[in-house]
A and B are shown apart, each in its own frame.
Chain A
């Protein structure tokens, strides 16, 4: 069975490849201090909980803020609680082949913690993935290509807290590569619980409509998708609906991202990503990064990052270099969309003069701190058993 889970501030939405229905489970966990049994979701939200039960209902908030929660005499990290939550959730399904969790923000802390929590359940990194809504959006459209043509596709995701706009644009470059780019710039805080009653609905309708007018600027749209709990009563937002329906065909699917996460699970499991398609989302880089080093007698540049690489996949980028008297390591990067090439340098920590020529070896490690914020660190590693490391290093952060 393939599972897709989308998680927001309050709920985990779970879908599988075998069932059209999506389970909406409160992202909350509880423990009975007498029996030591854990319970999750609706059970944790149940009003009939016992006085010996402790419930943590702000799990996402704790996860986002590096928090922890005390249950009985033990303090739990958010990652540990999430892991228990996921274990209980996944246990509901037999023969799990792949699990993908998607979240709205490409926040490295949340992604890493969710990844660690999921790995504690699945124990095989080839069977699970944590990434963002944008990635799932692409997989969904990719698996429905016969229904969606070349024009952009817009998506409004209206949660209990906010409205977000996504736009998928596809185009071919001169080198015949196909680029699928998801823009996720627009965001509007819109707490649903404050916008109740007729007046509230009208205000909300106005805000939605203005937001849509501001977001949608392309002339021709292939499709507009409405997703999220906020659109349960989409028809009551008349002004907004009139506007978007006047542009193109509108599909509403409250649980869009959970279903899309299943499609992404399948793509990841089956390796359905063509090298001719470059994906560009908030989870991927839009630069081609190279470094000036002698790779062989005929090559003096090494490609480090391809456009469309997942930037938070940090283990991918580290290598060693040997320098003699050079003072700096030179990088160049191409901003794919703008077509601009830029350069930057990182200082090489001073060479050890007591060593022979060409025995100052450094490890170069690259870590993306955010989508376009790269940290490069050079650390002296000695030279095998011939020379010990002097533990010198230099580091620089570069906005690409």
Chain B
């Protein structure tokens, strides 16, 4: 395995609208193609991308090849493969595997293809983009519906998240799912809405969930506090002195107040 030369840091980036991200080198472009091929549409190779490869990345030969392929309407797989082979990033064997993987992907049923695209975008934290994928199949795919709810939760739209989980509960009647809907509603500050998803819910169960939520909050707070202290220690002696003394002051204030 060799160490790969990537040239100087490039300040000009290229926007990949399919994934809502920017790339700055041919290696990043190749990595995106290789790992996120499912997000690539037929309009991925554009004149703009070819100009970027030429002018900003300085890869004249590759851009000239792509231009020729583009003009003679070469198929997308061949163009992507050509980029990978000329990226100084993947070797022939890896590119061969990529072609196989791509062919397998293209033979997937439509619903599975869209679901995987959504999952990829979720992994990239591109939640709005993921929502648009999951929306296409949520009526027939429970997992997509669940992930749709997660996307809204990640975007802190807790009530919408709860609505989608509630919808999933109606389909599955799984009490664990209902509990997740309750948590989302708790974060949204609208717990009473739980009765819209399930009318027959016992007070005892709600009390259990409340207890669990409080335990989770306490645990999270503790770990945040611990994490802060760990970060302070990593920043060195002077920083520790200053910050620990501030922290002790805050604790003292708290105890005085309690007293």
Q: Within the complex, which residue of A295, A321, A385 is in contact with B22, where a contact is CB–CB below 8 Å?
A: A385
Interface 0/1 of B204-236, CB less than 8 Å to A? 000000000000000000000000000000000
Task: Report Cα–Cα, A322/B124, bound state, in Å.
Answer: 21
Q: Within the complex, which residue of A293, A356, A361 is in contact with B35, where a contact is CB–CB below 8 Å?
A: A356
Show 11 A/B contacts (Cβ-Cβ < 8 Å), sorted by A.
A294-B2, A295-B5, A302-B5, A319-B5, A320-B7, A323-B4, A356-B31, A361-B6, A361-B27, A385-B21, A385-B22
Known: A358-B31, A359-B31. A321 touches B6 (CB 8 A): yes
A9 within 8 A of B: no
In the complex, which residues of chain A have a beta carbon less than 8 angstroms from the beta carbon of B9?
318, 320, 363, 381
Nearest Cβ in chain B — how far from A233, in angstroms? Answer: 55
B169 within 8 A of A: no
User: For residue B85, which residue of chain A has the nearest CB?
Assistant: A297
Interface segment, one of A43-51, A77-85, A124-132, A324-332: A324-332
User: Footprint of A on B, CB under 8 Å?
Assistant: 1-9, 21-25, 27-28, 31-32, 35, 88-89, 124
Task: Report Cα–Cα, A302/B7, bound state, in Å.
Answer: 10
Task: Report Cα–Cα, A300/B2, bound state, in Å.
Answer: 8
In the complex, which residues of chain A have a beta carbon less than 8 angstroms from the beta carbon of B8?
318-320
Task: Report Cα–Cα, A296/B35, bound state, in Å.
Answer: 22
User: Footprint of B on A, CB under 8 Å?
Assistant: 292-297, 300, 302, 318-326, 329, 356, 358-359, 361, 363, 381, 383-386
Q: Is the CB of B21 within 8 A of A322?
A: no
In the complex, which residues of chain A have a beta carbon less than 8 angstroms from the beta carbon of B3?
292-294, 321-323, 326, 329
User: For residue B5, which residue of chain A has the nearest CB?
Assistant: A293
Task: Please name the 8 residue pairs, one residue from A and one from B, whose CB atoms are nearest each other, closest first.
Answer: A294-B2, A293-B5, A320-B6, A384-B28, A322-B4, A385-B21, A293-B3, A295-B5
Task: Report Cα–Cα, A218/B19, bound state, in Å.
Answer: 70
Further 14 A-B residue pairs, CB within 8 A, beyond A322-B89, A384-B21: A292-B3, A297-B88, A319-B6, A321-B3, A323-B4, A356-B31, A359-B31, A361-B6, A363-B9, A385-B21, A385-B22, A386-B28, A386-B31, A386-B124
In the complex, which residues of chain B have a beta carbon less than 8 angstroms from the beta carbon of A296?
88
Most buried by A among B3, B22, B23, B24: B3
In the complex, which residues of chain B have a beta carbon less than 8 angstroms from the beta carbon of A356?
31, 35
Nearest Cβ in chain A — how far from B60, in angstroms? Answer: 14
In the complex, which residues of chain B have a beta carbon less than 8 angstroms from the beta carbon of A300?
2
In the complex, which residues of chain A have a beta carbon less than 8 angstroms from the beta carbon of B23?
384-385
Q: Is the CB of B7 within 8 A of A319?
A: yes
Interface of B is mostly: mixed
User: For residue B1, which residue of chain A has the nearest CB?
Assistant: A324
Nearest Cβ in chain A — how far from B52, in angstroms? Answer: 14
In the complex, which residues of chain B have a beta carbon less than 8 angstroms from the beta carbon of A358?
4, 27, 31, 89
Q: Is the CB of B5 within 8 A of A294?
A: yes
In the complex, which residues of chain B have a beta carbon less than 8 angstroms from the beta carbon of A384?
21-25, 28, 31
Q: Within the complex, which residue of B4, B21, B31 is in contact with A293, where a contact is CB–CB below 8 Å?
A: B4
Most buried by B among A319, A361, A385: A385
Most buried by A among B1, B21, B24: B1
In the complex, which residues of chain B have a beta carbon less than 8 angstroms from the beta carbon of A385?
21-23
Task: Report Cα–Cα, A293/B27, bound state, in Å.
Answer: 15
Task: Report Cα–Cα, A64/B1, bound state, in Å.
Answer: 48
Most buried by A among B2, B9, B28, B89: B2
Task: Report Cα–Cα, A296/B88, bound state, in Å.
Answer: 6
User: For residue A301, which residue of chain B has the nearest CB?
Assistant: B5
In the complex, which residues of chain B have a beta carbon less than 8 angstroms from the beta carbon of A361?
6, 27
In the complex, which residues of chain B have a beta carbon less than 8 angstroms from the beta carbon of A329?
3
In the complex, which residues of chain B have a beta carbon less than 8 angstroms from the beta carbon of A320?
5-9, 25
Task: Report Cα–Cα, A309/B35, bound state, in Å.
Answer: 41
Nearest Cβ in chain B — how far from A352, in angstroms? Answer: 15
Task: Report Cα–Cα, A381/B6, bound state, in Å.
Answer: 12
Most buried by A among B2, B5, B32, B88: B5
Nearest Cβ in chain A — how far from B37, in angstroms? Answer: 14
Nearest Cβ in chain A — how far from B83, in angstroms? Answer: 15
Nearest Cβ in chain B — how far from A359, in angstroms? Answer: 7
Q: Within the complex, which residue of A294, A302, A324, A383 is in contact with B31, where a contact is CB–CB below 8 Å?
A: A383
User: For residue B10, which residue of chain A has the nearest CB?
Assistant: A320
In the complex, which residues of chain B have a beta carbon less than 8 angstroms from the beta carbon of A295?
5, 88
Known: A320-B8, A384-B22, A385-B22. A293 touches B28 (CB 8 A): no
